[in-house]
Chain A
Amino acid sequence: MTDNNKSSEPQPKPDSGQTLIDELNKTMDGGVWQNSLRSALYPILAVFTGLVIGGIFIALTTEEVYAAFRESIFAGLGESWRTIAVAYRALFVGAIGNPAEIAAAIGAADWVAFQDAIDPFLESLVTSTPLIFAGLGVALGFRTGLFNIGAEGQLFIGATTATWVGYTFTGLPAIIHIPLALLAGFIGGGLWGYIPGWLKAKTGGHEVINTIMMNFIAIRLVEWLLRTRMQDPESQNPISPFIADSAFLPSLPFSRFHIGFFIALIFAWLTWWYLFRTKWGFTLRTVGTNPNAARYAGMNIVRATVTAMFLSGGLAGLAGANEILGLNHRLVASFTSGIGFDSIALALLGKNHPVGVVLAAILFGTLRNGATQMQLDAGIPIDIISIVQALVLAFIAAPAIVRTIYRLRDTGDDGQLVTNSWG
């Protein structure tokens, strides 16, 4: 390419992933939430704005609203308000339960009623769990300057390897079987990230395209496995056998809530510790922020790239393993989730910081879960959440939009380069 023309193009070509990291890491220097209120301001405004626009969108796509507008403008506005209110109320109740019911259950000390009342909340956490894992994976990649857009495929492979361990090894105690299955999920997803990582490090093949290709390959591979090696002998369909009971993640007796959520939190802490407290994490972050300086400082960029992609894929693989061990207990060919792209939004919303990612994942898991109720109560398709999510991501990526809307002052901390020489 332009290599043979150094003189006219002296700047090293910044990679898109690289520029992104430059843009993002500027605000957060890791470690602590410096001035947490300010760093949370933009995400909060972004989510709020996203929900407002989502509400307007709901009103715009409701026939009753148009009917009301035909009567009068006030009727129309009233109907719009009513539609949005109904929808978001259903969303809220579906997401975290009806506060009145919860209070009543506590007041009456009615254990069964309490279980029912908080079930939506627990269900939200269940929905959030894979998002946490996958979001952490993508964030770890971003920190190293890598754009892992293939969480979907890594998740799929992780689910497959975890399933295989889940039904192949029987008679193990749960305390061994569960970690083993999780490890299998981690390694499976990790390998699926390792390949594009290796290609990136050794040949420069861009990880965005390669991870997308790996997604397609994963789908074909698992289709084949479920048709042959991993097919449940008692089924005609491409479906795996059930995993052994010993590999089930323990769950609450009255809910689908399982310990996967806590495992996700543990991994969030591990990711944070790894990135900000170990020398390995320091290496990764340096490579992600300035690969030239990393090389100058004697860091092994190939190893860092490969490691980061392996860990990133591994975390996504855990998301898949978590779903199998905690909820589905078997693998079906249609096991897709759309988590792959969502996790990019989560990583960016959480500013690539594990704490931020956990909060973002819980937020979107909650919204997504609440939307199921909204679909039942108000007939609003659950996909509204994807729309909101896209809007939030846009606002996070381009803080200038949020600034324009809310007339905020530009504090100059969203990626303006400071250069010194004007000569």
Chain B
Amino acid sequence: MTASTLNTATTQPPTFRNYFNRQRILGIVFLLLAFGIWYIFAQGLGDIAESKEIDVSEVITTFKLPLSSQPGDLFNWELSSSPVLTVLAMAAAFLGGVQLWRGFGRYANWVLAIVIGLFIFAFLTWGAAGKSLNLGGLLSATLVRAVPITLGAMSGILSERAGIVNIAIEGMMLTGAMVGVFAGSIAKLWLPDSVFAGMLEEKGLLILGLCFGLVCAMLAGMLLSAVHAVLSIRYKINQIVSGTVINIFAVGFTSYLSARFLQKYQEYNNPGTFRPFELPILSDIPILGPIFFRHNIFVYSMFIIIIVLHIALYYTRWGLRLRSVGEHPKAADTLGINVIRTRWMAVLLSGAMAGFAGGYFTLGSVPRFDEGLTAGRGFIGLAAMIFGNWNPIGSFGASILFGFTDALQTKLAILKLPIPSEFLLMIPYIATMVILAGVVGKGQMPAADGQPYDKE
């Protein structure tokens, strides 16, 4: 997304900017978070202690963590809330101090992630003080919720790194979700009577059908992205308008077909889902195993995609060329790189990725399509992309944050927090706006993002 000013003429007070550079601002942010841990959470324990008529030091937070993949095999991790919060506050304050004093240089982003992690851990310690919280379940759910957001962000990175803004990820996801359901259901109905029936057992047939649905979902996303490419590359229309066209179309198209067919013929709206499976050895690691390695294909794919995309973007010829086209297409052109073809490829891959993300909804989560079931995840993915600085790993971190608030939603009733849950849920959106405002440093948006390429 073009984060630079429309009004290039806008001037900002230079002295303020110069003094409060990224290093100092980050340091202040860290210190504020540390203060928050101490003031809101640690001090907040007093009320909890009072209501239980115990001393603050006696308040205990219990986190339940999985020991093995057996569902009931939980380990109660009991923490004395007050000292833990104090330590967390001190750790965050220390990092803030170091950041202010000399900065962490290129590791600043990692430190930022650590401090946010500390803050979230403090929040949970406080929220679950005097109670117990299934932390393992929460983290596992976070990962699952982060899947469509991460994949959406990867879709955005693919196309924006090549200079094409794609706000149609939402629409492509929606279409992918519907086409996935439809194709998956057809395959499910057809496969038992086909030649494959003799070759595979029932479970294999189901997976084959689901894979077929997933491929169709990706193709559907790709088809829509081809429309985006035609409009924005071939006809050079504004890329946000083009994205809007696709979003409107996708909402209409999926709702139309859903109302006309899927509601009437429910057998075409029931492909089944990819089942979670345990990765051998890895899933036996206590705590980590059950959290990370007991998922379905989408979670594992997500990890692979992040790593592959990161390596491909920064370490291969393909990535260098893709990024050059998004930074300075004319320069790329003068070096014999086919800008148009590169952008087409990037947009098509972006569409396939969004379609894959759509497949998650109907083939990896709930095996049926309902109108508007993506509920804005495509847009959140875009936000995660910006948050993560157009970088796969950073965007994954941001997606985890979004996924966490999403997962937390279901646990809020247990925690009974004194803050209205709606406000907690707003935090990621507000955080995105803060990031976009450049308070913690402007992102490295591809310089030619959103600009059509004109040869002459």
Contact = CB atoms under 8 A, between A and B. Distances in A.
Interface of A: 1-2, 9, 12-20, 23, 61, 145-147, 149, 196, 199-206, 208-210, 212-217, 220-221, 223-224, 227-228, 287, 291-292, 294-295, 301-302, 305, 338, 341-342, 344-345, 348, 379-381, 383-391, 393-394, 397-398, 400-401
Nearest to A348: B241
A305 B9 CA distance: 12
25 contacts: A12-B8, A17-B240, A18-B6, A19-B450, A202-B437, A204-B10, A204-B442, A212-B382, A220-B429, A224-B422, A227-B420, A227-B422, A291-B7, A292-B9, A301-B7, A301-B10, A302-B7, A345-B244, A348-B241, A379-B260, A384-B256, A385-B252, A386-B249, A390-B252, A394-B245
Interface in B199-241: 227, 231, 235, 237-241
A291 B436 contact: no
Residues of B in contact with A, size category: 35 or more
Given A1-B444, A221-B426, A381-B260, A291 B420 contact: no
B437 A203 contact: yes
Given A61-B256, A206-B436, A397 B245 contact: yes
B358 to A, nearest CB: 18
Nearest to A287: B7
A215 B248 CA distance: 16
B451 A19 contact: yes
B426 A200 contact: no
Contact of A398 (B235, B244, B432, B451): B235
A287 B239 CA distance: 21
B256 A398 contact: no
Interface string B411-454: 00000000010110110011011001111001011010011100
A146 B436 CA distance: 16
A213 B8 contact: no
Nearest to A228: B420
A208 B168 CA distance: 13
A389 B235 contact: no
Contacts of A15: 2, 4-6, 450
Nearest to A17: B6
Contacts of B260: 61, 379-381
Nearest to A400: B235
A401 B3 contact: no
B249 A305 contact: no
Contacts of B1: 206, 208-209
Instruction: Give the top 7 A-B pairs by smallest Cβ distance, nearest first.
Output: A386-B252, A390-B249, A295-B9, A204-B5, A381-B259, A224-B422, A15-B6
Interface in B231-269: 231, 235, 237-242, 244-249, 251-253, 255-257, 259-261
Given A212-B379, A217-B426, A390-B252, A301 B244 contact: no
B248 A13 contact: no
Contact of A224 (B12, B165, B376, B423): B423
Nearest to A398: B235
A157 B123 CA distance: 30
Contact of B165 (A16, A200, A216, A344): A16
Contact of B7 (A61, A210, A212, A305): A305
A217 B430 contact: yes
B4 A345 contact: no
Contacts of B261: 61
Given A209-B382, A216-B376, 11 more contacts: A13-B4, A14-B451, A16-B450, A17-B240, A23-B237, A196-B433, A212-B379, A212-B382, A386-B251, A389-B248, A398-B237
Contacts of A223: 422
B68 to A, nearest CB: 38
Nearest to B241: A397
Nearest to A222: B422
Nearest to A417: B454
Nearest to B246: A390
Contacts of B432: 209, 213
Nearest to A195: B433
